[in-house]
Amino acid sequence: MHKENALIEIRIAGLGEGRNEIDLICKAADFNDEQLTAAGFTGDIKTSFFIVKSESEIAVTLNTAAAADLTCDICLAPVTRELAGSYTIHYVYGAEEENEDPDDADYRLLDRNAVSLDLTEEVRETIMLSLPMKVTCTNNPDCRLFITENEHEGLDDHEKSSWHESLEKLKSKYR
């Protein structure tokens, strides 16, 4: 996604040789992406860039943090989680023939005359990849997927729900 007016753009000329750090905050709505909004990201997205510039390449490590409004997969209660992600990209100066593996997504060719790096799509993908596979409540004991044996034994019979009993039957069946 390389647009004329990039949302997140790093000017190469503004980077000094060696280490550079840049922190940015933008709104999820600024991305104009329905998938991002549907996934539960509606507030601020904090992004920090750790950039190492040398004569032959620019290595960019980006870290993202954003709050997501999710739904518990078990009881459907609303859950807000602070999600973080990280991604490293190497921009290599040179011709395409010099690149050993053109299909490697972590290494990208960069023209020596390039003025800036558009990192909008990389930030969006890092945020989307930080979404958990399974979401459960932390304050509802029936929603905890990984309950320890001591906690399970401490439950009274009236506190055990039907799915606890079903799990006990399966557990004893496969022992």
Q: What are phi and psi of 61, to 5 degrees?
A: -110, 120
Same domain flag for 34 and 68: yes
Contact 143, 74 (CB under 8 A): yes
Residue 138 has pLDDT above 90, yes or no: no
CA-nearest of 66, 60, 69, 82 to 26 is 66
* pLDDT tens digits, 19-61: 999 999 999 888 888 888 888 898 899 999 999 999 889 999 9
Q: Are residues 49 and 104 in the same domain?
A: yes
* Per-residue pLDDT tens digits for 35-44: 888 888 988 9
pLDDT for position 23: 93
Q: How confident is the model at residue 5, as a pLDDT?
A: 66
In a domain, 2, yes or no: no
16 and 94: one domain? Answer: yes
Cα torsion for 133, 134, 135, 139, to the nearest 10°?
Answer: -140
Does one domain contain both 101 and 53?
A: yes
Query: Does residue 70 sit in the same domain as residue 23?
Result: yes
| CA gap 93, 97 in Å, rounded | 12
Residues 125, 89, single domain; the answer is: yes
Find all residues with CB under 8 Å of 117, minimum gap 6, and list them. 9, 10, 12, 58, 60, 91, 110
Q: Print burial letters for 41-72: b (CB count within 10 Å at least 16), e (below 16).
A: beeebbbebebebeeebbbbebbbbbbbebeb
Min mean pLDDT across 35-49, 51-65, 69-83, 153-167 is at: 153-167
- Listed in sequence order, the residues at least 6 apart from 60 whose beta carbon sits closer than 8 Å to its beta carbon are 10, 49, 50, 51, 88, 89, 90, 91, 117, 119
Q: Please indicate, yes or no, if residue 172 is contained in any of the structural domains.
A: yes
Name the 3-class secondary structure at 62. Answer: strand
Count of domains for the chain: 2
pLDDT at 1: 38
Residue 128, domain extent: 9-136
Is residue 36 located within the same domain as residue 116?
Answer: yes
